[in-house]
Chain A
Amino acid sequence: MLSAFKSIPTDMDYKGQKLAEQIFQGVILVSAVIGFIYGLFVQQFGWTVYIMLAGFTVSCFLTLPPWPMYRRNPLKWQPAVPEASGENRDKPQESQKKKKHK
């Protein structure tokens, strides 16, 4: 079961992370301002807390799951080096390591 959870991809690319941070900071600040003004108007601090919690829930929903909008700029990796020359380089390194261990 746990392996099924771990296999769900939850990563975002860098621009997506920046966008996610801006979104949640914006949502929480806006809900804080609305909550403060409404609480001051009805003279009940409980309403301020409730509006803040609503803002928190909305921003959780918007930024915690990896929506596609956070994955629009994936990193451009270098193309893989073909296998043949890679093996030739590996072998002399491995033999050097064995000598050191003795």
Chain B
Amino acid sequence: MNTVLSRANSLFAFSLSVMAALTFGCFITTAFKDRSVPVDIHVSKVMIKNVDDFTGPRERSDLGFVTFDIYANLQPIFDWNVKELFLYLTAEYSTKSNALNQVVLWDRIILRGDNTKLNLKDVKSKYFFFDDGNGLRANKNITLTLSWNVVPNAGILPLVMGSGHKSLAFPESYETAKSY
């Protein structure tokens, strides 16, 4: 500690250790918080086509088109340890060939400071709703759920599912739209 460099070294190392302890404190204050909020999903229109899926092995696969509304208030999730939320809408169903299918239809990133009240109407899916085969036609039970991945400043990144889901059925034949 006799020279300036030696004092500067001690000072900087001590500051970094204290900063690490503060970050751990930030993590501890929010580690056990429940990050789920109620979510409201409505579906307005559903349609199926049977088209060539060039990424799959078979001749033709079912392609679904879903138009939906989402209402959710995500404000309670944001605290001092949350940097952003990665939202995604999943469709879950079972067919004769596969017991469980999960397809992501739409996603969105919400940064801290953005509008946290979701009030989206007539949203079309961002990604193709292809089935592995022809299992979507006349499928009675397809469940849509909204989940999110919480990206923190310090700590674990949990995947949380919103409470509230919507079940819908696809029409019996191709190219005919079904309105709800």
A residues in contact (CB < 8 Å) with B: 10-12, 17, 20-21, 24-25, 28-29, 32, 35-36, 39-40, 42-45, 48-49, 52, 56, 59-60, 63-66
Q: How far apart sit A35 and B79, CA to CA, in the bound complex (Å)? A: 16
How far apart sit A27 and B26, CA to CA, in the bound complex (Å)? 21
CB neighbors of A among B93-128 (8 A): none
CB contacts (< 8 Å) of B79 on chain A: these are: 43
The 3 closest A-B pairs by CB, nearest first: A17-B1, A43-B80, A10-B4
List A contacts of B7 (CB < 8 A): 20, 24, 63-64
Interface pair A45/B153, CB less than 8 Å apart:
yes
Consensus secondary structure, chain B interface: helix
Say how far A11's CB is from chain B's closest CB, in angstroms. 5
Pairs A–B under 8 Å by Cβ, sample size 22: A11-B2, A12-B2, A20-B1, A21-B1, A24-B10, A28-B11, A28-B14, A32-B22, A36-B22, A36-B26, A39-B26, A39-B80, A42-B80, A45-B80, A48-B22, A48-B26, A52-B18, A52-B19, A56-B15, A59-B11, A64-B7, A64-B11
Q: Are A35 and B11 in contact (CB under 8 A)?
A: no
A40-B80, A64-B4 known; A21 vs B10 contact (CB < 8 Å): yes
Determine the chain A residues whose CB is within 8 A of the CB of B26 once the complex forms: 36, 39, 45, 48
Among A11, A35, A64, the residue within 8 A (CB) of B22 is A35
Give complex CA distance A10, B7 in Å: 10
A-B contacts besides A10-B3, A28-B18, A65-B4, 8 pairs, CB < 8 Å? A24-B7, A40-B29, A43-B79, A52-B15, A52-B18, A60-B11, A64-B4, A64-B7
Contacts of B81 in A (CB 8 A): 45
Interface residue? B38 (CB, 8 A): no
Q: Which residues of B contact A (CB under 8 A)?
A: 1-4, 7-8, 10-11, 14-15, 18-19, 21-22, 25-26, 29, 79-81, 153
Tell me the number of A-to-B contacts counted with CB atoms below 8 Å. Answer: 63
Instruction: Verify B18–A64 contact, CB threshold 8 A.
Output: no
What residues of A have a CB within 8 angstroms of the CB of B19 in the complex? Answer: 32, 49, 52
CB pair A52–B22 under 8 Å, yes or no, is: yes
Give the interface centre of B18, B25, B29 by most chain A CB atoms within 10 Å. Answer: B18
Contact of A28 with B15 in the complex, beta carbons under 8 Å: yes
A63 to B15, CA, bound (A): 14
Q: Residues of B contacting A52 with CB < 8 Å?
A: 15, 18-19, 22
- Using Cβ atoms and an 8 Å threshold, which residues of chain B touch A21? 1, 10
A24 to chain B minimum Cβ distance, whole angstroms, is 5
Min CB distance B176 to A, Å, is 51
Question: In the complex, are the beta carbons of A44 and B1 less than 8 A apart?
Answer: no
